[in-house]
Amino acid sequence: MYKYEKKLAYPVNLTKKDLRMAKLVITQLGGYAGELGAALRYFSQKFTMPDEYGKSVLNDIACEELTQ
């Protein structure tokens, strides 16, 4: 389902460290309101859905959160 390619989508040229921006990036990825947290919540909620359509929708949303 997932394919890992070790290349950047956009070239990155770092000239100096920006600790404030690094903190914002880490918050989005791993914080309570980040992408990873949202994906894990969707994955866990799909197991309590009573119908297959709801399970598939939550699974699709979780996969989309992981690919962003």
Q: Is the pTM of this model over 0.85?
A: no
Q: What percent of the chain has pLDDT over 70?
A: 90
> In the predicted model, what is the mean pLDDT of the chain?
84
Q: For residue 11, what are the CA distances in angstroms to 7, 8, 57, 58, 67? A: 9, 6, 34, 33, 19
- pLDDT of 19-42, one tens digit each? 998 888 777 777 777 788 888 889
Q: Read off the pLDDT band of 4 (50, 70, 90).
A: low
The per-residue pLDDT for 68 is 66
Which two structure tokens, joined as six digits, stand for 30? 């791993």
Question: Domain coordinates of the chain in residue numbers?
Answer: 35-68
Distance CA 52, CA 33 (A): 27
